[in-house]
Amino acid sequence: MEAKGKIEREKKEADLDKKLKAKKTTASNKSIELKTFDQILENRIQNEIAKRIDKAHNYSFNLANYKSVISDSQLIEWTEALKHIQPNGATTVEDVYKKLNNGKPENILPYLLKLNPTSALEADIAREYLSNLDKDNITKHKELNVIKEILKSKQKYPIEKIEGKVEPKYIKIKKENYDSEIDIVDKISFKDGKIHFREEKETGMDLYQAEKGDLVTSKINVHQGALALADRKLVCSTHYQVYEIDKTQINPAYLVIALKSKQLQDRVNEIKNGGIKNEQGAEFLMSLEIPLPSLDEQNAIVSQIGKQKAIIEGADLVLKNWEVDDYLNLTSNEDSVSNIAYVDGQIIKDEKLRTKFDEIYVGGENIESGTGRLSNLKTVEEAGIVGPSYIFKPGQIVYSKVRPNLQKCFFADFEGICSSDIYPLTVFNENVVPEYFARVLQSKYFSTKTQVFQDRAGMPKVNRDQLATINISLPDKEEQTKIVEIINAQIQILEGLHQMKAKAQKKINQILADVWGVEFVELKEEVTEEVEIN
């Protein structure tokens, strides 16, 4: 470790000398960066020694227990704040502690300089001293303010770079040597966190190989969480990066959780907005910092989140397979929509729309396919609606004419505003239960009947004249009422599953907030369409 560290330091110093020569840094900054490097290296060496002692003698000795939670970037900030301070004669932690307890704020900076912020004990000494100072004294000394901000973090685990915990792999497979029995990565979904493979196992390019358990990241979408553990031996194009994970330091499942967390993605996006290139390789990933609990704690976190994900996946399985068609009577006599209902909505815009700013607005993105469940609703003003819209009223059927294959329709029990791409329909046939008609319009059965109108350029739509010509199966009114009751009971069960999912996701978010040491903020449910480029 020391020999490797010496080589790394020499390389670091050479790089800084190049920057100094090119006037991209200063001698002062070079000194700071080398000092920071030495502190980080020393910490790595001590941890390695502790791990070797533990392995050799089966001790439970672990220096990580005595390491502070200050990150590498915060360490640089700490060092930068005190770089102009001259050290004093104090030689031990005890001496520094006494001086801090007895010294005045204007005289204690040289003693703070003596503390090692990577040590939990010494960081606590600084925290204790600063917590006893009044706000005015801290405000007068910018150095104290910087250090107090670093120390007030709620972080409970050390923040460490990924570097040294994963190793990039470059096992190249020449195209002429490719074994077609091995799957080729097509994409890594940042939505379901799974690797998807090509159907056609042919390649015109060289590939890189990964073994089961390796981390595979999409260089393009890594900042969105497009990464996963290989569940088998596989190959991928150069648009992906493969890493071997050091399992003695980090649980692979925990690594994926940390890298896919919103907290890390927010930090990455800050960098991205500052000029990240389209593709990000090993240097980028290994520069990222994540919380690093002990392996036992990592295992516990993985287990806790795994239980909540199992609840979500179970609920999703039911929700995905539920279809309103299973409850409809689709074998009765048919009648045309023109004999059942008509488009009955008033288009408003401009001044008239502004009078409706407090009304609930419903767009296609707010309607769940196949059930009519509404989510993430906003007012007209909150949604920023300015264009033509329809008014809909209680008792109407609100049907999306755009992309009718998505089966977006709901029975309104409140008055609101909807997109001009959504029709408000009024049932005038006394033999038709409006809510049953709404359920038919939510079905795959009805969606299939609209396909005849979809052979056209641009966005698939069905206009009001085409809608009127569609025939649907209609049982008698009494049976319609019974079917509506059955479906509504089912919808209540589905709503319970949605709530179960929401609670499980909230628990995951709370766990992650605790891991990252940040305040938990409950997020509203949002319906978005996934767009992936891998």
Contact 208, 177 (CB under 8 A): no
pLDDT, tens digit (0-9, with 9 covering 90-100), for 174-191:
988 888 889 999 999 877
DSSP assigned state of 83: T
pLDDT, tens digit (0-9, with 9 covering 90-100), for 8-41:
888 888 888 888 888 788 887 788 778 777 777 7
pLDDT band at 522 (very low <50, low <70, confident <90, very high): low
**Mean of the per-residue pLDDT values for the chain?**
86
pLDDT at 44 over 80: no
Percent of the chain with pLDDT over 90: 52
pLDDT band at 90 (very low <50, low <70, confident <90, very high): low
The larger pLDDT score, comparing residue 213 to residue 159, is at 213
Listing DSSP states for 444-492 in one string gives HHHHHHHGGG--SSSS-B--HHHHHH-EEE---HHHHHHHHHHHHHHHH
pLDDT at 475: 97
pTM for the complete prediction? Answer: 0.70
Average pLDDT over residues 268-289: 76
pLDDT band at 5 (very low <50, low <70, confident <90, very high): low
Pairing relation of β-strands 360-362 and 416-419?
A: parallel
Contact 253, 302 (CB under 8 A): yes
Closest CA to 133 of 146, 148, 118, 115: 148
Q: What are phi and psi of 134, to 5 degrees?
A: -75, 165
Name beta bridge partners: 215.
229, 243
pLDDT band at 53 (very low <50, low <70, confident <90, very high): very low
Average pLDDT over residues 166-173: 94
Average pLDDT over residues 501-507: 96
Average pLDDT over residues 356-376: 96
Contact 152, 510 (CB under 8 A): no
pLDDT at 455: 59
Query: Which ranges of 322-379 would DSSP assign to H, the alpha helix?
Result: 350-354
Contact 323, 368 (CB under 8 A): no
pLDDT at 98 over 70: yes
pLDDT band at 447 (very low <50, low <70, confident <90, very high): very high
Q: Which helix (H) or strand (E) holds 34?
A: helix 27-57
* 264, two tokens: 């890390």
Distance between CA 405 and CA 167 in Å, rounded? 46
Contact 214, 245 (CB under 8 A): yes
